[in-house]
Amino acid sequence: IEIYNDALKKLEGNLFHQYMADIVADTICADYIDYIQRDTLNVGLDTFKDGRILRSYYIGIDEKNSYRMALSLKDRGGKPRVSTITAAKNIVRQRYNLAEIIYYHKTKVSASAMLAKVFALIDKPLEVSTNRYRIKLEDIDRLTDSLSKKDKPLSAAKLKNGYMPNCILDPYIGDESLLLWMLDSAWEKVKLAQKNNEKELLRSSLMAISLIEGIAERKLYKVAITINFDSIRLLSEIFEPKSVKKYINDIVEKYRHDKNASDNRDHIENEMSTASQLPLGSFLTYIPPPKSQAKGIETGAIGDDGIVRILSEHSTVSDDVERLGIQYQNLWKVIVFVHPDYRNNIIELSNAIDSLLSNLVTGINLKSKSELIKDICWFKYIPIQYRSAAIKFKELNINQEKINWNNLITLFNRADDEYGPDEYAYRAYLSNHFNSKKINEIFPKAGDVKDLVKKEIGAIEANTSDSKTATPDIDNEIKALDAIRDKINNNELL
């Protein structure tokens, strides 16, 4: 009681103290206790039912002499409060589970990235406005008369513009109406851009409309690559954990917190589009702050010396929380999304990923890191050393409805020799019709297929009387490979 009376005396005359914010915005707080129950229920996880932890919160003083909400993990006799400690660890684990299952779910993050991009393109809307017009009962007759007059002193369009919601916290704006409101805002930007001949504003507004349509119709961007703590460590070859954290913090600072963060993200997204020769807007980046995943570990707890410290530093739980901290650390990831129309353009995507990694990881050797890059990509990444072979293989399959990239990728994995782009592509083309064992039996040496293709092309060109009507090289290569296929079927090459 004396502690509380002393605290109240010190608080007199001050309107705000940090503990007030802690109640609703700390890492374990009223808001979190509310949504942890709803979110777990909606995804079928065990819901939070143990409210005893809330009775273990007190107001304490931290190292900055500020009053903070904090857990008391020991009783008056200095013994650990086992039930409170267990509940605290459980709630941190639950938060980790939610982060892993829900908050980093690819569909949720894709929609979030698209929505964030819309806000960036059409500018962040006002949160609160007091200027919105309200149609009051006593105004109806006056407005009716004004709108009915022939000279139209008041137009319906003008009245509507003053009446419609103009801020995000307007009661009319909810989950269902937000997209419609943003769509209307984007079209207004289009009208303004057209009137003022602002080409860049016109383009960004149309891009925003395309993204809103994608969210509404559930045509969400697809994951192209995820880069987590371990990926950064291996790609950068920086193995000391503190140095890796600094490296990640530098990435987050540049692409999330810096005053030019939005422009920096636009730059790498546009460079990916340029490298892949896909339309601008084909890629979106999601770069969260590392701390956002460790919130449950950073809640306050009264330490052995009576000072409020973060939970992870408390002696009774430090070991368990340290292990959870490592798990939280690995939850952080950069996610790059690609427009769903281009999710299967693996050569273009491979070029885009090379551009991304060259921007994020200083001095990266893409060739030596190709196996790691393949592991973290969500599509069939073609290593840079085989890209030319992939381009040739795609050209050879120009008449195919669907390209079987596995034929080429399997060949990369199994081939003992550096065949060269043409040899790889030719063998992969023949793999559309024969297994690799048969092809290797007929063509045991590197260059065997290429030499035979060259011979067949010579025969084709010799039979072409008018050189002006000769078909392009790629057509002759396809004809040569089809001739080789027929000879294999007729046992002429055995």
Q: What is the pLDDT along the chain (494 residues), one digit of tens a residue?
A: 565 566 666 655 566 778 888 888 777 778 777 877 887 777 777 766 667 777 888 888 888 888 888 888 887 777 777 777 787 777 777 777 777 788 788 999 999 999 999 999 988 777 767 677 778 888 888 888 888 887 767 778 777 777 777 777 777 787 778 888 889 889 989 999 999 999 999 999 999 999 999 999 999 999 999 999 999 999 999 999 899 999 999 999 999 999 999 999 999 999 999 999 999 999 999 998 876 555 556 778 887 778 888 777 777 777 777 777 777 777 889 999 999 999 999 999 999 999 999 999 999 999 999 999 999 999 999 999 999 999 999 999 988 888 999 999 988 877 655 788 999 999 999 999 999 899 999 999 989 999 999 999 999 888 875 555 455 589 999 999 999 999 999 998 86
pLDDT of residue 130: 65
Pick the CATH number of 2-106+296-310 from 3.10.580.10, 1.10.10.10, 1.10.3210.10, 3.40.50.720: 1.10.3210.10
pLDDT of residue 417: 59
pLDDT of residue 291: 65
pLDDT of residue 294: 53
State the pTM of this model.
0.81
* 3-state SS, one letter per residue, for the chain: CHHHHHHHHHHCCCCCCHHHHHHHHCCCCHHHHHHHHHHHHHHCCCCCCCHHHHHHEEEEEECCCCEEEEECCECCCCCECHHHHHHHHHHHHHHHHHHHHHHCCHHHHHHHHHHHHHHHHHCCCCCCCCCCCCCCHHHHHHHHHHHHCCCCCCCHHHHHHHHCCCCCCCCCCCCCCHHHHHHHHHHHHHHHHHHHCCHHHHHHHHHHHHHHHHHHCCCCCEEEEEEEHHHHHHHHCCCCHHHHHHHHHHHHHHHHHCCCHHHHHHHHHHHHHHHHCCCCCCEEEECCCHHHHCHHHCCEEECCCCEEEEHHHCCCCHHHHHHHHHHHHHHCEEEEEECHHHCCCHHHHHHHHHHHHHHHCCCCCCCCCHHHHHHHECCCCCCHHHHHHHHHHHHHCCCCCCCCHHHHHHHHHHCCCCCCHHHHHHHHHHCCCCCHHHHHHHCCCCCHHHHHHHHHHHHHHHCCCCHHHCCCHHHHHHHHHHHHHHHHHCCCCC
pLDDT of residue 292: 53
Domain with CATH 1.10.3210.10 in the chain: 2-106+296-310
